[in-house]
Structure 1
Amino acid sequence: MYTLSSNEFIKNPDIYLLPGITPETIETCSHLLQQNHENYHIFFNIQNGFHNHTTHNLLAALGLGASSHTLEHIYEKQKKIQQPIVPLHKKQDFDVNKCLGDDNYYHDYLEFFTKELNNEKYQGKIEDLIEDYLFNKDYLVLILGGAYHAFIHLGYALEFQSKVMAIEGLAMAAIDRVSVKDLLEHLNYNQTRDGDKTALDIIELIVNDQRFDDKVLYTDERPKTNKLLERGGGPLIAEYAQMWKPDLDDARRASILVNAAVIRPKKSPRLDFYLMHATTSSLFLNILVHSLKNKENQLKLMRAKFAVDLLYYVARGRPKLNLNYLCNEYQVSKEHSYSDAQNPWLPLIDKCLTHPDEHVLKTIRALIYAEKFDSAQDKDKLPYLKIAQMIMDALFPADKKNWAHEDISSDEYWKTVEDL
């Protein structure tokens, strides 16, 4: 059994863990991760390719100091919807290169990467295994498909030093069907100099670029990325990704704002389900980049991740970012302002741990991480607590509110949202 390497992740300067992690909670989490690994497929709805979020939920909760009881409750809730892992195929029926994109071979890829990790080349070092597969065996494009889920999985593997998560993340990347190849193949990683624009500069240019007008239609099926790429959106988005001056803080801030700043004045806050994944994945860009030994690989990963962030932003209709309203004018509800608390983060964290949708917990944790590691001076930092409080306003009560799956960029959608 692979257990979490607690000494390694607790000493990692690139992560931030709240008080509450104990040997007991680490052992509980390791046990539950192993149960999920042995019993369940990486998709809980295999027909539609919906990802098994059990491990993400457990590790996000562990990182916020959840008790063993809370971790066990999360696992019991999650396992009710999971699908059993399918049996291994005969050796002659599995080819590691020819079976890519076929979820029937998930178990086979688990076995393959387990053996890979433990061979003489990698000797159990997950950092070496991940970097080699991403940049020498063309898995970079695979981990950024599927709404970032394999990217996030590998981020957790590195953050919590979990061999199980590393194996699962690469196996997930191998069998996921949602591809971003038609975007990333147009990036030029060997350009002589980086661009000179910030992420928000580029987003503003994209909003005003009429070439995108016919690339995404209101009638397209969600999440619309496939149609956008089929209509030639890949080269256009790559063109903008090349303009970016790579910066981890800049990338993280933008990935938060494309989610949080789409709210509209005088309307109850609503947040896009797909753009939310740009935020939840933002936590792991730093961790993955800093795990890479090769400087060129670091820059490749940063630009590729930024390009995929832009892909989802365009696919969701290039919604206007109301930054001034979010940062200065939005009034947090009394319920989530926690005005009587000495530290408003604490009751907020405690409450988000109970939300039935693990994406809420993951989003709040990404904001906590951002507040900790953003290098901007105080006056230039985003109001991360306020953004977290707004997200709580948008998603609670849990039985009445949810992420928006509709076209959040359209005026027609906002007409259906109640006024504040």
Structure 2
Amino acid sequence: MSPPSPELLARLFPIPSAPPSDVPTRVFGVSSQSTEILLKCLKDNHEKFHVFFNDRGFHNHTSHHLLAIFALGATGKVIESAYDRNAEIQRPAYDSPMSITESNFFEHLGKEDNYNAYLNFFSYTLAEKDVDIGEVLERFIFSEKYNFDKTSKGDDKPHPEMLNRFLAGLLHPIIHTGYGVEFGLRGILAEGLAMASVHPAEASKLIPESFFDFESNSAVSYITSMLPRLSLQQSSAISEFGAMGSGGHLLAIMARMLKDPRLDSEKHDLSSPDLGDKYFNVLSQSGDIVREYAEQWDFRLTGDAASDTAILNAKIEEIFWAHVLIYGVGGWSEKGFLADFVNMHLVTSAIFMSNFVAVLKKPSSKKTLLRSYVSLSLGWWVSRGRPGFAITNFYEATGGFDPDDAAQSEVPGPQPTPNEKALKIGGKPNLLPNPWYSILQTTLTHPNEHLCKLQRSLALADSLYGSRAAGHFEHLKSLSEFDVGVGAGKVGFEGIEKLDGSLFIRVARLTADRLGWMREGQEEQGWDFVGLA
């Protein structure tokens, strides 16, 4: 296999750029050395390793790990150490049995042996001068031809369904591509699109053709795509869940799902230890039901830039709250906290939605992306047992993780001895004035490639929505969906009026405790795979 030329690699891996959206922001600490080492490692991974590190379809997370800790301010040496750790388990890249062209693109989808061919195709496509990444995404992920076009495939052949593939594999293709979009790295973008191309179209029930609006992609719609850079915290309209054009609130839809006996775990075979088997059983038996709920999460983009921006930001905020609740509160019980491996991916993927919305050209594509993504996340939630949310008990149990709690619990490791004149809390030494610094410090040196992604997403959510006070969701409590309890001893959204912006630091502390504070001397722990049924 001939390696890419230095010229091609330079075009695919330039110095990382600012994100197309105002978020996520980068933490201070980026240097010329860390940037140089990052690019060297990313290029090496691009040339040497396959997108799957084994023959079971397990994904190569190397670039995710490196870019996440780079954004959190890791030094070059830490980035290099993380790369060496990841490289130990990777599978060497190998040639595909054919080349991919425009004419045979559809013929070889869904086969991992064709990854290198699709990678070459997208690398050269994206390396062309003046090629806009948003236009590439519009064409290969959202266009009618690459999803449901009958003229290119015929009625008797399966549709390409590229958006379906883009969201397959527990969201790994969209996560991978999201890093490429955020950092302006076309090589990562090419890897993500190639990864999508070799995944199966596994969730057709959750992403129906009705989620697409090909007819609205007119010149008028295109003009409205020139939205201002998205800032998820610019105006009161953005935080109003009842903003004009918004449909049912995502938490209300989830509350209805908790009350639906058709989605009870007993109705599905969730006994398999395989994550995919559980998910596919849900798709087979209840995929249409899940899709019906996802269809309720609808909103209208008017073509007005300010209005559309507010609506999209409000819907992205709903996604963050929903996914953090699913992972954090849904994973907690009186017995302890289960850091569910599947639900963690819902949080790590949410961070990219604002950037995708910023680069996509057509309002219809922005809407299709968010609705399809939510449909998939609801399907995964059901496959993990669809746990409810005992918010009151959760908040009582994690009160010591609230930075404003006078009894805030200490983090593991040696404790500082503040000078007598240092600022105090209630006359006592202030040992943890901002727990995020401790969490992110220990995260940077933790070898788990998912932990840094999760804590970065939670930190972003905290920076955007941490100021939300208790009572922010009071208006939802009056809905019938939020009656306390859902029958059969199950919990619905009990205590939703208590939900506030401290949710994110509480979940981050639980995660750090579950995975281990290794920088402070604790042993490495791992994610939980058993499910939450």
TM-score, scaled to structure 1: 0.89
Residues 265, 42 of structure 1: alpha-carbon distance in 2 compared, 3 angstrom cutoff: closer
Structure 1 residue corresponding to 2:68, chosen from 30, 41, 60? 60
Question: Does residue 71 of structure 1 match 2:76?
Answer: no
Correspondence for 1:254: 322
Deviation at 1:200, TM superposition (A): 1.5
Deviation at 1:152, TM superposition (A): 0.6
Correspondence for 1:335: 411
Structure 2 residue corresponding to 1:353, chosen from 441, 444, 457? 444
Residue identity opposite 2:110 in structure 1: G
Residues 292, 375 of structure 1: alpha-carbon distance in 2 compared, 3 angstrom cutoff: farther
For residues 186 and 111 of structure 1, the distance between their equivalents in structure 2, rounded to whole angstroms, comes to 29
Residues 62, 124 of structure 1: alpha-carbon distance in 2 compared, 3 angstrom cutoff: same
Deviates more, 1:310-319 or 1:175-184: 175-184
- Say if 2:173 and 2:196, in contact at 8 Å, map to a contact too: yes
For residues 350 and 270 of structure 1, the distance between their equivalents in structure 2, rounded to whole angstroms, comes to 22
Deviation at 1:221, TM superposition (A): 4.4
Residues 343, 6 of structure 1: alpha-carbon distance in 2 compared, 3 angstrom cutoff: farther
Residue identity opposite 1:228 in structure 2: V
Deviates more, 1:156-165 or 1:394-403: 394-403
Residue identity opposite 1:335 in structure 2: V
Residues 37, 245 of structure 1: alpha-carbon distance in 2 compared, 3 angstrom cutoff: same
Question: Does residue 199 of structure 1 match 2:206?
Answer: no
Correspondence for 2:208: 185
Structure 2 residue corresponding to 1:382, chosen from 501, 507, 522? 501
Deviation at 1:220, TM superposition (A): 3.2
Deviation at 1:177, TM superposition (A): 3.7
- % of aligned pairs identical? 27
TM-score, scaled to structure 2: 0.71
Deviations 1:201-254 (A, max 9, x none): 1112111211123542232342211111122x2211111011125511011111
Structure 2 residue corresponding to 1:368, chosen from 447, 453, 459? 459
For residues 50 and 7 of structure 1, the distance between their equivalents in structure 2, rounded to whole angstroms, comes to 27
Question: Does residue 172 of structure 1 match 2:225?
Answer: no
- Say if 1:260 and 1:387, in contact at 8 Å, map to a contact too: yes
Note the 1:9-408 alignment, pairs <5 A: 9=18, 12-45=21-54, 47-91=55-99, 95-119=104-128, 123-136=130-143, 137-138=146-147, 139-177=162-200, 179-185=202-208, 187-189=210-212, 196-213=247-264, 215-223=267-275, 224-231=278-285, 233-245=286-298, 247-330=315-398, 331-332=400-401, 334-335=410-411, 340-374=431-465, 377-379=468-470, 380=472, 381-383=500-502, 384-396=504-516, 399=523, 401-408=525-532
Deviates more, 1:125-134 or 1:163-172: 125-134
Residue identity opposite 1:367 in structure 2: L
Flag structure 2 segments of 5+ consecutive residues without an equivalent: 1-8, 148-161, 217-243, 300-314, 402-408, 416-429, 473-499
For residues 279 and 315 of structure 1, the distance between their equivalents in structure 2, rounded to whole angstroms, comes to 16
Residues 92, 236 of structure 1: alpha-carbon distance in 2 compared, 3 angstrom cutoff: closer
Correspondence for 2:487: none
For residues 359 and 71 of structure 1, the distance between their equivalents in structure 2, rounded to whole angstroms, comes to 15
- Say if 2:412 and 2:517, in contact at 8 Å, map to a contact too: no
For residues 245 and 327 of structure 1, the distance between their equivalents in structure 2, rounded to whole angstroms, comes to 31
Secondary structure of 2:445 counterpart: coil
For residues 365 and 106 of structure 1, the distance between their equivalents in structure 2, rounded to whole angstroms, comes to 29
Residues 43, 265 of structure 1: alpha-carbon distance in 2 compared, 3 angstrom cutoff: closer
Residues 316, 10 of structure 1: alpha-carbon distance in 2 compared, 3 angstrom cutoff: closer
Deviation at 1:315, TM superposition (A): 0.7
How much is the aligned-residue C-alpha RMSD, in angstroms?
2.7
Deviations 1:154-193 (A, max 9, x none): 1111110001111000000001247222321265445999
Residues 369, 116 of structure 1: alpha-carbon distance in 2 compared, 3 angstrom cutoff: same
Secondary structure of 2:336 counterpart: coil
- Say if 1:336 and 1:389, in contact at 8 Å, map to a contact too: no
For residues 144 and 119 of structure 1, the distance between their equivalents in structure 2, rounded to whole angstroms, comes to 26
- Say if 1:237 and 1:310, in contact at 8 Å, map to a contact too: yes
Residue identity opposite 1:130 in structure 2: L
Deviations 1:74-105 (A, max 9, x none): 00000000000112434499932111110001
For residues 77 and 196 of structure 1, the distance between their equivalents in structure 2, rounded to whole angstroms, comes to 45
For residues 98 and 209 of structure 1, the distance between their equivalents in structure 2, rounded to whole angstroms, comes to 41
Residue identity opposite 1:403 in structure 2: W
Structure number with bigger Rg: 2
Residues 235, 391 of structure 1: alpha-carbon distance in 2 compared, 3 angstrom cutoff: same
For residues 467 and 373 of structure 2, the distance between their equivalents in structure 1, rounded to whole angstroms, comes to 21
Deviations 1:258-296 (A, max 9, x none): 000124443222121111100110101111112112111
Deviation at 1:6, TM superposition (A): 4.3
- Say if 2:38 and 2:79, in contact at 8 Å, map to a contact too: yes
Residues 7, 80 of structure 1: alpha-carbon distance in 2 compared, 3 angstrom cutoff: closer
Correspondence for 1:416: none
